Structure 1
Amino acid sequence: KMSQCVRSVSNRLITCVNSQKRLVQFDHSRLTKHTEKCAILEK
């Protein structure tokens, strides 16, 4: 159920695909443990 990082749209936005294979954008200012792993995978 972990999101996989697809690509970083900008320095603040990250696009991930969740367990339901839907594209979701996350803002760095609102990172959770879920999205934080996504951000780390991009780097």
Structure 2
Amino acid sequence: MINDYPVKIIYISEPYAETFTPIIYALKDWGINHKKVVSD
């Protein structure tokens, strides 16, 4: 019996997913710029 624990899952994104990158960075920048207001 082969020990398959922990289970290994590999995710591979499609090239189209890279179109989402600017949105992720925009959300990150928004969070950094509004951190003080949001965390109060």
TM value normalised by structure 1:
0.26
Give 1 or 2 for the bigger CA radius of gyration: 2
TM value normalised by structure 2:
0.28
Q: Which has the higher contact order (CA 8 A, sep 6+)?
A: 1
Give 1 or 2: higher strand fraction: 1
